[in-house]
Amino acid sequence: MLPESTQVALKEWAVACSALDQGRQVILLRKGGIHEDGLDFRVIHDQFVLYPSYEHQKPGLVKPEWQAELAATFANAPPSTEIRFTHFAKVTSLVEIMEQERLDRLDALHLWTAGYAQQRLHWKPRRPLTVMFIRAYRIRPVTVPFLGEYAGCTSWVPLAQGVPLDGLVPVLTDEDYQRQADQVMRALDAGAPSSVSAASR
């Protein structure tokens, strides 16, 4: 059962949020932020709103077919004093990878350039790259004030107020989501993924 509201947000590039919204991608690749606790990314929540970020997304880091969408995210960005939430997300599975060849097999299934994906993998090479399987839902847009404690290169943001999840509608049907998730798993050739829950991470 899906919640009625949440106070948990995950920062992700606005263009990646667009990819999830369009149903063209069902994964996120995460390794950690500069201000992350211990510099490591951990899936400590399996349900959250997506917090679109703009600071680090650059044209040279996304594939040519995503350049127009990247530009659109900047053009449609809210004022810096506000955050606009439009999507709720649920982590259905995750896989941790350390092998370049497994990452390479995902290349057609995400928007990042091969070079940038490799950079994410090799940063802190003793730590795995987390492949998050994301089921995205559109919600009635909610705008909240930006607070100073939300700033910085962190992944998880505890929100000062709950975001109501009104009008929840899945981006993809169950069948279409499962088809894409299965395609990712076949590319990874990883067997059954680990299930995710906040209590177990």
Angstrom distance (rounded) from CA 195 to CA 12: 21
Q: Residue 196: how many CA atoms within 13 Å on its side-chain side?
A: 20
Closest CA to 54 of 151, 163, 156: 151
Full pLDDT tens readout for the chain, 201 residues: 789 999 999 999 999 999 999 999 999 999 854 444 555 677 889 999 999 999 889 999 999 999 999 999 999 999 999 999 999 999 999 999 999 999 999 999 999 999 999 999 998 888 899 999 999 999 999 999 999 999 988 889 999 999 999 999 999 999 999 999 999 999 998 544 444 444 333
pTM for this entry: 0.89
